[in-house]
Structures are given as C-alpha cells and as structure tokens.
C-alpha cells in the first residue's frame, strides 16, 4: 500500500535497521524501543492486521512467529525469555495498520501488561 510506512520499509524506500529479510518476511529494530531488544517482524505483503480472519493466511502468520523466535535465538534472549505481541485495534493501541509481531526481551516484563 503506497502510504503504509511498513510497506515502504519492506520495499527499501525508507531506512530501517534490518535484521532479517526474505521474499515474504522482513524484520527490523523498532525505532522507539520499549526493551533492550525490540524488533518488529512484518510480512512483505500489506496485511492490515489479524482481521479479517483468513485461514489462508495461517502459513504467513506462522512464519512471522517462526522468524521472531529465530531472531530471539540469534539475539541471545531465548534463554532469558521474551514476549511476542501483536496489537490489534484501538484497545490494544495498534498504531501501524500493517500487521507486525513485536519481539521484546532483554529485561523483565510485567504481566499482565498495562
Ligand atoms: P503498534 O502500536 O503495535 O502498531 O506498534 C507500532 C510500532 O512501530 C511502534 O512500536 C513504533 O515505535 C514502531 N515504528 C513506527 N514507525 C517506525 C519506523 N519507521 N521504523 C521502526 N519502527 C517504527
């Protein structure tokens, strides 16, 4: 989508600190990190969020989680633990309407989240 900031990052049109890229998925550091490790994992394809529910997207959504988990290993936070978050809609505070998995780690995190 032409006015989507994450589509532009996926297309290389605006800079980001990329940690992973293949034909389907891109991962980069969050510009406003909420933890020592804060990475966003996105599909190259513009998918607005977990809605509308589409079983055909299950492999892609699974791949986002798999790439995030692999990055947690690479970044050295797998043993200490990490959180994977998808914010969907207003009550969750979704700000960018291109689905993304937040990979957060490197510090102790509160549960339940605020
Ligand atoms: P969410 O509230 O789940 O939609 O989170 C959007 C996230 O995108 C926030 O954590 C922002 O800091 C992050 N973000 C927004 N613009 C950029 C950007 N250009 N590069 C990296 N991260 C970004």
pLDDT digits (tens, 9 = 90+) for 58-108: 999 999 999 999 999 999 999 999 999 999 999 999 999 999 999 999 999
Q: Give the dihedral sign, CA 54/87/76/71.
A: positive
The Cβ of residue 101 has, within 10 Å, a number of other Cβ atoms equal to 23
Ligand 1 centroid to 6 CA: how many Å?
A: 9
CA distances from 18 to 22, 62, 111 (A): 11, 20, 29
Q: pLDDT tens across 18-34, in order? A: 999 999 999 999 999 99
Ligand 1 centroid to 23 CA: how many Å?
A: 21
- pTM, full prediction: 0.98
Q: Is the pLDDT of residue 16 over 80?
A: yes
Task: Identify the DSSP state of 5.
Answer: H
Q: Is the pLDDT of residue 1 over 80?
A: no
pLDDT at 114: 81
Helix, strand, or coil here: 20?
Answer: strand
Ligand 1 pocket, residues with Cβ under 6 angstroms: 5, 16, 28, 30-32, 40, 87, 93-96
Ligand 1 centroid to 5 CA: how many Å?
A: 9
């Amino acid at each position: 989508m032409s006015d989507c900031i994450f589509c532009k990052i996926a297309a290389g049109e605006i800079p980001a600190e990329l940690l992973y890229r293949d034909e389907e998925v891109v991962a980069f550091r969050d510009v406003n990190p909420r933890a020592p490790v804060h990475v966003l994992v996105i599909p190259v394809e513009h998918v607005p969020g977990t809605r509308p529910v589409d079983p055909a997207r299950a492999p892609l959504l699974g791949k986002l989680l798999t790439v995030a988990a692999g990055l947690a290993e690479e970044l050295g936070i797998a043993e200490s633990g990490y959180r994977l978050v998808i914010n969907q809609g207003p009550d969750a505070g979704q700000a960018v309407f291109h689905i993304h998995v937040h990979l957060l780690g490197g510090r102790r995190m509160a549960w339940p989240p605020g």
